[in-house]
């Protein structure tokens, strides 16, 4: 065992030395570097591929930090109407700029995203591809082995580029494995060049990758097609995305899990709905750095649970979006006129009765709100469980990536100060994405039958399973933790001040009977994507692409976000004076990168 461990550690250090020249973006020459000859065999290539996978989680603490997260909680959620930064104003101040659409070019969060995706991820992929090509040329590996590794690495490179493109748009340098001087490559590109590069990597990967993989976390041909389809959708290239989505659906390899929450529980990871899933491990190394560290701040901070650090809290606007009419359908035009009842400004030891209004059942799988059972941790006690309610609002940090109390220390970290880090995988693309993207294509094409079918499949599943446990007390001081006065963890599901035979709230979700026209269908599809994928770092990017749709289908991004800003003043004063403008659709090119590559890397003109 010790010999095996020593070999693994030796391989790790060799890989680290091999990649060392990329760890300061793309420009600094290495102090010392292991000869590539060490890697010119199948075992060496495998080590390099593993090192490239290591970047996929979007976190490489402490080389980069939370701005690099592949879950895009800052750029995709906090910058949108889905979420607040949370926590308090004085912590992680750079995120305040992202939330208020006031990002300066020296903000360190976008710099971390650039560094992780391009300076580390793409660089590792390109170096690995060069070793594969040279090893094949030397006859040390077979064509079959080379194709297998090359397809995985090109998938990873395309994924890194896609992530960078989401955040920075077209102002990123296109660098492939033939470029030996990446520092000389400009980030000024022809229109469509970045998209074409991403799609080319995914097309190659799809042509070589298998339909299934024995090892979870490795991509399949379907994962490559799904990423390519999502890339096409960013530019509303529906005709190009459609056959890829059809291929995935017609493969018969995927299906919706019975319950919505199955996509967020550790016990149901790598399930039949998962198309590409980023694996998370804890307690295998110090600080559990093989988990998703990019969301290490986004755990409950307040009393009873007491982890770090209360970031990424749902917005009131998002909560309002889960309201329904008498038929269980969304309140498209009036959802944000009046806020769903909340406990903002009410202390935990003061009485508060949650709303009796009917809501979509996905609300309480997504949002932790007062008076509702919070997984198996206890009754959510309101302000005592929020780091600073006046600045972060009344709702718990994003619930989906969190773990159950019964899993603490076995499936959550036992080391490090980010104590909420856990073994919950990130379902980067799941079958629900494919169905709703295909429904979006159908709506655009006026194929109302297909759009209706796929949207209703998602809604039908959402009604299959709801949060259970109607709380019977409305004053929640510390003494009622976890399930009422005098209770213990053993009362979960059976006792305490909770009627476990009743749903936690009044849930209702209906199916659409039909769509009158393509505009109505598109609106339903867009709304469904918000509810199904809430707090998953996607909303901002969806608003941006829908802003380019034709009249009648278009979601005016600026109008939507500025209306959110105005309505949010009912909850917090933080957004006072904030205004979304066209330039805010993308992050600026990091000034630190421009300084490193003077005369080569240029700023997005919108930031000049």
The answer for residues whose C-beta is within 8 angstroms of residue 340's C-beta and 6 or more apart is 316, 319, 320, 322, 323, 355, 357, 359
Quickly state the pLDDT bin for 29 (edges 50, 70, 90).
Answer: very low
Q: What is the pLDDT of residue 28?
A: 37
CB 309 within 8 Å of CB 297: yes
H runs (alpha helix) in 54-186 = 93-99, 108-114, 123-137, 143-168
What's the average model confidence in pLDDT over 593-607? Answer: 97
pLDDT in tens, 52-104: 999 998 767 778 889 999 999 999 999 999 999 999 999 999 999 999 999 99
H or E segment and range at residue 500: strand 498-503
Does 6 or 92 have the greater pLDDT score?
Answer: 92
How would you classify the pairing of strands 426-430 and 373-374? unpaired
pLDDT at 4 over 60: no
What's the average model confidence in pLDDT over 449-476? Answer: 98
Percent of the chain with pLDDT over 90: 90
Return the C-alpha torsion angle 402, 404, 405, 407, nearest 10.
Answer: -100
CATH number, domain 2-66+109-208+592-601: 1.25.40.890
Structural tokens at position 106: 């020296």
Quickly state the pLDDT bin for 15 (edges 50, 70, 90).
Answer: low
pLDDT in tens, 304-356: 999 999 999 999 999 999 999 999 999 999 999 999 999 999 999 999 999 99
Cα gap 56→44, rounded to integer Å: 20
Quickly state the pLDDT bin for 13 (edges 50, 70, 90).
Answer: very low
Q: What is the pLDDT of residue 292?
A: 87
Q: What is the pLDDT of residue 22?
A: 45
How distant is the alpha carbon of residue 237 from its chain centre?
23
Cα gap 39→10, rounded to integer Å: 13
pTM above 0.85, yes or no: yes
What's the average model confidence in pLDDT over 564-582? Answer: 98
Quickly state the pLDDT bin for 34 (edges 50, 70, 90).
Answer: very low
Quickly state the pLDDT bin for 198 (edges 50, 70, 90).
Answer: very high
String of b and e for 277-293 (b: at least 16 CB within 10 Å)?
bbbbebbeeebbbbbbb
Q: What is the pLDDT of residue 148?
A: 97
pLDDT in tens, 482-539: 999 999 999 999 999 999 999 999 999 999 999 999 999 999 999 999 999 999 999 9
Cα gap 426→417, rounded to integer Å: 21
Cα gap 495→53, rounded to integer Å: 45
Cα gap 161→180, rounded to integer Å: 18
DSSP string, 270-337: S-TTEEEEE----SSSGGGTTS-GGGTT-B--STTT--SB-EEEEPHHHHHHTBB-TTS-B-TTTTTT
pLDDT in tens, 377-425: 999 999 999 999 999 999 999 999 999 999 999 999 999 999 999 999 9
CB 468 within 8 Å of CB 439: no
Q: Which of 512, 520, 547, 513 is nearest to 446 (CA)?
A: 520
């Amino acid at each position: 065992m010790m010999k095996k461990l020593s070999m693994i550690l030796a391989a790790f250090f060799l890989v680290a030395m091999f990649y060392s020249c990329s760890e300061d973006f793309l420009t600094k020459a290495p102090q010392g570097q292991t000869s590539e000859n060490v890697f010119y065999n199948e075992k060496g290539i495998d080590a390099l591929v593993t090192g490239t996978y290591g970047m996929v989680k979007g976190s490489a603490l402490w080389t980069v930090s939370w701005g690099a997260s592949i879950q895009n909680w800052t750029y995709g959620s906090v910058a949108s109407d889905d979420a607040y930064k949370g926590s308090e104003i004085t912590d992680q101040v750079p995120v305040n700029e992202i939330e208020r659409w006031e990002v300066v070019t020296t903000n360190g969060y976008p710099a971390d995203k650039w560094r992780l995706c391009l300076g580390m991820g793409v660089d590792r992929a390109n170096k690995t591809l060069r070793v594969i090509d040279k090893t094949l040329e030397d006859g040390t590996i077979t064509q079959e082995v080379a194709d297998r590794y090359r397809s995985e690495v090109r998938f990873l490179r395309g994924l890194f580029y896609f992530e960078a493109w989401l955040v920075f748009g077209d102002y990123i340098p296109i660098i492939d494995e033939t470029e030996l001087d990446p520092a000389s490559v400009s980030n000024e590109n022809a229109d469509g060049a970045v998209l074409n590069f991403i799609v080319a990597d995914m097309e190659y990967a799809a042509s070589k990758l298998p339909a299934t993989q024995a090892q979870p976390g490795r991509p399949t041909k379907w994962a490559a097609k799904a990423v390519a389809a999502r890339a096409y959708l960013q530019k509303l290239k529906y005709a190009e995305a459609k056959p890829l989505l059809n291929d995935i659906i017609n493969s018969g390899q995927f299906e919706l899990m019975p319950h919505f929450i199955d996509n967020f529980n550790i016990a149901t990871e790598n399930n039949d709905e998962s198309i590409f899933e980023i694996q998370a491990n804890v307690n295998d190394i110090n600080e559990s750095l093989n988990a998703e560290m990019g969301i290490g701040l986004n755990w409950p901070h307040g009393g009873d649970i007491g982890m770090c650090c209360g970031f990424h809290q749902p917005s009131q606007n998002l909560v309002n979006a889960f309201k329904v009419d008498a038929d269980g359908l969304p309140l498209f035009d009036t959802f944000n006129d009046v806020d769903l009842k909340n406990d903002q400004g009410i202390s935990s030891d003061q009485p508060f009765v949650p709303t009796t209004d009917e809501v979509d059942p996905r609300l309480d799988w997504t949002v932790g709100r007062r008076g509702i059972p919070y997984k198996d941790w206890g009754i959510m006690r309101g302000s005592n469980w929020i780091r600073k309610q006046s600045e972060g609002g009344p709702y718990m940090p994003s619930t989906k990536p969190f773990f159950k109390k019964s899993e603490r220390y076995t499936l959550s970290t036992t080391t490090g100060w980010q104590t909420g880090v856990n073994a919950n995988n990130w379902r980067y693309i799941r079958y629900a994405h494919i169905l709703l993207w295909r429904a979006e294509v159908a709506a655009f094409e006026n194929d109302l039958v297909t759009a209706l079918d796929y949207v209703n499949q998602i809604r039908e599943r959402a009604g299959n399973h709801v949060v259970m446990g109607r709380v019977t007390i409305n004053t929640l001081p510390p003494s009622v933790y976890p399930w009422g006065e005098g209770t213990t963890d053993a009362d979960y599901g059976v006792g305490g001040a909770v009627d476990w035979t009743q749903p936690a709230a009044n849930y209702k979700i209906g199916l659409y009977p039909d769509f009158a026209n393509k505009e109505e269908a598109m609106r339903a599809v867009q709304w469904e994507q918000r509810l199904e994928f809430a707090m998953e770092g996607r909303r901002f990017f969806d608003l941006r692409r829908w802003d380019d749709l034709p009249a009648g289908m278009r979601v005016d991004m600026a109008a939507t976000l500025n209306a959110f800003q105005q309505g949010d003043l009912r909850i917090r004063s933080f957004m006072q004076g904030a205004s979304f403008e066209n330039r805010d659709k993308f992050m600026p090119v990091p000034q630190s990168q421009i300084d490193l590559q003077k005369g080569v890397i240029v700023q997005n003109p919108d930031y000049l």
